Amino acid sequence: MALHGWTMTLKPGCEAEYDRAHREIWPEMLAMLHGSGITQYAIFRDGRTVFGCMDTPDIAATRAHIAASPVNARWQAEMRKLVEDDPRRTGPGVAMAMERAWDMPPPKR
């Protein structure tokens, strides 16, 4: 498996709505994520800064599956209302992929 991170910034005052949407995630959205190859997914929020980290063996296949999903298109439309525009964003989603900077090496034996 491989970890992949993303980030975004919420619009001022949208923090509670963002948290609510994820507490009440649509069952069909969750099913689509499970079907995309993601084995673990966590989202962290510090004020308006949001960071997500997912584990998937094939990020290209996972992204293609998610991008082709009608339920994801609906979810992204809802999330876009809560997320600041960013000129660095290149895809249709609201999050921006992050470059991996470091991996903890295994312990020496």
Residues with a known catalytic role: 22
CA distances from 28 to 24, 35, 47, 79 (A): 11, 10, 28, 16
The C-alpha angle 75, 77, 81, rounded to 5 degrees, equals 115
